[in-house]
Structure formats: C-alpha cells, structure tokens
Copies of this chain bind each other. A is one copy, B any other.
Amino acid sequence: MVMNLYGYAAKSAKSALAPFKFTRREPRANDVVIEILYCGVCHSDLHQARNDWGGSIYPLVPGHEIIGRVITVGKEVKRFKIGDNVGVGCMVDSCQHCDACEQGLEQYCEETPTYTYNSTDPHDKMLTYGGYSEKIVVSDKFVVKIPKGLDLKAAAPLLCAGITTWSPLRHWKVSKGSKVAVIGLGGLGHMALKLAKAFGANVTLFTRSPGKEKDARRLGADQVVLSTDEKQMQSVKSKFELIIDTIPNVHDLKPYLPTLSIGGTLVLVGFLGDLKPVLNTVPLIMGRKSVAGSVIGGIAETQEMLDFCGKHGITSDIEVIKIQDINEAYERMLKSDVKYRFVIDMASLKKV
C-alpha cells in the first residue's frame, strides 16, 4: 500500500514552499521506512526549488540531509532494525552494476544516481521526494547508520555538507601536516575546516569578509587569509597542496591558483556552471597544477565519514528551525546569514 504523507513543497520556481500532501511507494523487500526527525537545509535545495539549474519538476519536496529512525524494514533487510538511528543523503539508488557503482562511487553512477528528490525512481517511475517530510522509503543500500553519541540534529548536515568535503579531502590524501585551504565559510566550508583539522592538516580559510577570523579559528583554521588583500594572498604563495573551493556562485579562480604548491589541486565542490572569467592555462602548466571537481561521496565512504565523526565528536554548527520558517531560512541563506547550517526539526511538521 502506498503511503500518504505530509511534506513541504515548492509548487513552482516562483512560489514559496508550502504544505503538500503526497504519496510514497509501498515498501519493497529491501526497503527501510524512516520517520524523519531532522533535515538539513542545503544551498542546492534552494537552487532546485527555484529551478536555478533547470530540470526541476514540481511540486518539488527538497531535503537530502536526512536523519531519522527506522520504523519498518522489508523482509530482506539485514543491516537495520526498527528503532535504529539512520541517515539518508543525496542519493536513494543507483544502477549498482557500472564501474563507478562497483567501486563504491555511486555518486558517479554512469546511469546517473537516483537523487533523493527531483529524480525518477527507475523501478516504479515515481518522482522522488526529499526530506522536508514525515517519512521516507529508501533501499537499504542507501541508508547509513548514525554512530551513537552524535547529536542527531547536528549530524544531519554531515549527509551532504560533510561528505561533500570529506570525499575530496580523502581522495587527495590529506593527512597530518598537509597544507589545505578552504575557500568560503558556509555550510560546506565550516565542515571542510573541521574535517581537515581532524585529519591533522594545517588549515587556512580564504574569505572575502573580514571578521570571520575568530569563528574560523574555533572551527579549525590555523590561518585566515582575506582573498581581497593582495599582500595576504602573496604571503601564501605556492603553499597549498589542496584547496577546497566551496563557493556556490560563479567566481574567479585566478587569485587562488598561485597559492597552490607545485602539483597542487583546486577542487570545486560548490559551483555548477561556466568558469568565468575564463581560465588561463599558464598557472596550470607552469606549476603542474589542476582544477578539479568533486560531488558528495559514495555510500561506503559516507558511512566511513560518519564513523570518523562519531569517533572524533564532529558535527555541524546548526540553527534549528521549524518547517514553517523554511522560506525565511532560504532568504537568510542567500545572505549567508546562518552559522552554519539550518536544520529543520521535523516534529514541527506534525503541527500542519
């Protein structure tokens, strides 16, 4: 039997999010049904609600930083039982047979992963709806365990902001003593600082806004560099093996490339679009430097990240909101007025 549920949806690119009744599939044998307790608010929720990237299908229920409790398991499910605290990130399925999936890199599935919302389920062709809702039904392979001891609401952003910064830090082998910089202090940036610091790296924050020094240091930065100050930029010339660029809007990479050391990589994790102004090859060629991209992370990698965060007591800095305040939260997010992630307490939905 399909499930009738409440959530919050954008009905069009121009409309505010509002209560929405919808159905989810009848659970399959390998499904886990999760009562959603908390859902983080990602910048891409806003992009998709407003169709900034094109391709949004309405009504659209955003939300892919989902923390909840298992309330039903299908008969083939072995890894979860009723009452478990679990998480769901940006994906709820993938082909499971391409090279990427076989390597545990479901985020790069050659047939495109099934995203948690605004995607079509390949089995029943139903549209997927995200975590701004009461419950979700997810194939067990795409459910992760939340380690004991982590604050559940503050763990929600780990499912996207956490794994998005964890994956490049791991892929580019950041470890003790690595020199890492993070561009931008938002949801992704503040997680990148915490994780890089936990790996033992020497961590620098690049920011355009003065006054972030104290917070950045608290979050793990050893140094804060104002990217608009040429002298400060010069002082970190050729320094960084890896730069995690979390800026979600178009921006010039030129000031940052000279701060990479020989063979260094600047990895874009926040901005989808044309790299303007145009990139010049000279700083790449004359220093064996790379400009790369990375998106979220695989499921096994997400579990590894959560386990690490459990062990090291790492969560996101959050501001808890009611679902009724989501539209105001979007406006504040556009002004970077959040430290550093909104998380919806889904109990508020019951008052709809």
Q: Does A269 contact B (CB under 8 A)?
A: yes
Interface membership of chain A positions 285-303, coded 1 if the CB is closer than 8 angstroms to chain B and 0 otherwise: 1111111111100000000
Judging by beta carbons under 8 Å apart, are A285 and B276 in contact? no
Q: Is A235 an interface residue (CB 8 A)?
A: no
A-B interface, 4 closest residue pairs, ranked by CB to CB distance from nearest: A284-B293, A285-B293, A290-B292, A290-B290
B288 and A279 contact, CB distance less than 8 A: no
Could you tell me the distance in whole angstroms from the C-beta of A106 to the nearest C-beta in chain B? 11
- What is the CA–CA distance of A278 and B278 in the complex, to the nearest angstrom? 5
Quick check: is A273 within 8 A (CB to CB) of the other chain?
yes
User: In the complex the two chains form, is B262's CB within 8 Å of A99's CB?
Assistant: yes
CB of A101 to closest CB in B, whole Å? 11
Q: Which residue, of A110, A269, A275, A290, has the highest number of chain B Cβ atoms within 10 A?
A: A290
For the complex, give the distance between the alpha carbons of A295 and B279 in Å: 17
This chain's copy number in the assembly: 2
Against B, the Cβ 8 Å flags (1 = close, 0 = not) of A253-280 are: 0000000011101001101111110111
Number of A residues contacting the other chain (C-beta, 8 Å)?
38
User: Does A335 count as interface, using CB distance less than 8 angstroms?
Assistant: no
Cβ of A334 under 8 Å from chain B: no
Which one of B105, B265, B287 lies within 8 Å of A290 (CB-CB)?
B265
CB distance from A32 to the nearest CB of B (A): 27
Of all chain B residues, the one with the shortest Cβ separation from A271 is B281
Contacting pair A281 B286 (CB below 8 A): no
Assess whether A18 is interfacial by the CB under 8 Å rule.
Answer: no
Verify if A282 is at the interface (C-beta below 8 Å from B): yes
B287 touches A108 (CB 8 A): yes
Are A281 and B261 CB-contacts (below 8 A) given A108-B286, A108-B287, A238-B110? Answer: no
Q: Please, what's the 1-or-0 string for A216-253, where 1 marks a CB less than 8 Å from any CB in chain B?
A: 00000000000000000000001000000000000000
